[in-house]
A = this chain, B = another copy of it.
């Protein structure tokens, strides 16, 4: 049960609401968000909205058992813009989050960061803790990678986005991270959602590969209920019968989610296709569909990447991606901020393949 308070709800009025919720067998919580103050009843209560709506200072009361309420579009009068670095996600400017699947060494992440910063990225991604289907696959360099990533971010001025896999790591990671990524496999890791909610930093929440949009928004609701409004939804493909691509990128989710929530929606064409040759066309498509940004894997030398080499763009391809999405963004009333720097130069790539063919998680 969610009760929205009117502005200037008196302490007495709030107490009355809390008591009414308790009488209906709810556990109560106050939630303060930029678009309102709420009193929430959790658990299996009586579900009587009428009595609650009639109380003083109550703007509305809604049941939330099956649909997100705080994340729903009518909870907020304006679309949420999530601040990240010098920009925000959800406004006119497109977010372009780029970087390697995994941070592999100091040189790799520095090179990558400088390049993507020069050619239009607004944030830097890089995995330190990698969920891998196989325990034998490379699992990330851990805390060491986090420091390299943070350093690369600081040098280039890019905020950093990286995945957190367990509640106990949220606290230790927080000082080095600008935005926590919740990977697709963790979309319904509820203790983790609560913990990143409490940390207060922006959260990039990836859609689970077999999750409906309704379930996706309910996972966002877990974060919002901790008083953290800064959730960026990320469509990254769903599991289907098709084997020509790693996942089926569900761009339908862009207009449908935008009609159902005030939260920004970005798209990951790297995991959504699993094929380097499809990433740029699908990045253009995502922008045309109305996405608020992109998150793409870029590697100085994809053939040697320790994970996700097949779907990582080269640095030159990333530059092409930005060049190609710019006019599409303009065609739909958006803009790509960055001014590409000509002749930045690009490291040579070698031929030898490292790492496993097995795709890494996200």
| A residues adjacent to B (C-beta < 8 A) | 1-2, 40-44, 63-66, 131-139, 165-168, 185-186, 188-192, 208-210, 212-215, 218-219, 221-222, 225, 238-245, 248-252, 254-256, 259, 272-273, 275, 277-278, 281-282, 284-290, 306, 324, 327-328, 330-332, 354-358, 361
Check if B244 sits within 8 Å of A240, measured CB to CB.
no
- The 3 lowest CB-CB distance pairs between A and B, nearest first, are A210-B210, A288-B288, A327-B331
A242 lies within 8 A of B221 (CB): no
Check B245–A248 contact: CB distance below 8 A.
no
Which chain B residue shows the least CB distance to A67?
Answer: B134
Contact among B43, B327, B358 for A65, CB-based, below 8 A: B358
| A224 to B, closest residue via Cβ | B135
Contacts of A42 in B (CB 8 A): 135-136, 139
Q: What chain B residues lie within 8 Å of A190 (beta carbons)?
A: 131-132, 135, 139, 165
Residues of B within 8 A of A240 (CB): 238, 240-241, 248, 250
Complex Cα gap A330–B241 (Å):
34
Residue of B nearest to A166 (CB): B191
Instruction: Pull 30 A–B residue pairs with CB atoms less than 8 Å apart, ordered by A.
Output: A41-B136, A44-B137, A44-B138, A44-B356, A64-B135, A65-B136, A66-B134, A133-B188, A133-B218, A135-B190, A166-B189, A166-B191, A188-B361, A189-B189, A238-B248, A239-B239, A240-B250, A242-B250, A248-B250, A252-B272, A255-B278, A256-B275, A282-B289, A284-B289, A285-B286, A327-B331, A328-B328, A328-B331, A328-B332, A330-B331
Chain B residues near A284 (CB-CB < 8 A): 288-290, 331-332
Q: Are A66 and B222 in contact (CB under 8 A)?
A: no
Residue contact A255 to B238, C-beta cutoff 8 Å: no
| Nearest CB in chain B to that of A331: its residue | B327
Partner of A288, one of B243, B273, B287: B287
A256 — which chain B residues lie within 8 A by C-beta? 244-245, 273, 275, 278
Chain B contacts for A248, CB-based, 8 A = 238, 240, 248, 250, 252
What's the Cα separation between A138 and B165 when bound, in Å? Answer: 24
Complex alpha-carbon distance, A273 and B41, angstroms: 31
Q: Considering only CB atoms, which chain B residue lies closest to A69 in the complex?
A: B136
Q: A43-B138, A251-B249 are in contact. Are A328 and B244 (CB under 8 A)?
A: no
Chain B neighbourhood of A250, CB < 8 A: 240, 242, 248-249
- Excluding A64-B136, A254-B285, 19 further A-B contacts by CB distance (< 8 Å) are A41-B136, A43-B138, A44-B138, A44-B306, A44-B356, A133-B188, A133-B218, A134-B218, A135-B218, A135-B225, A165-B190, A189-B189, A209-B210, A210-B238, A213-B242, A248-B248, A281-B289, A284-B331, A288-B328
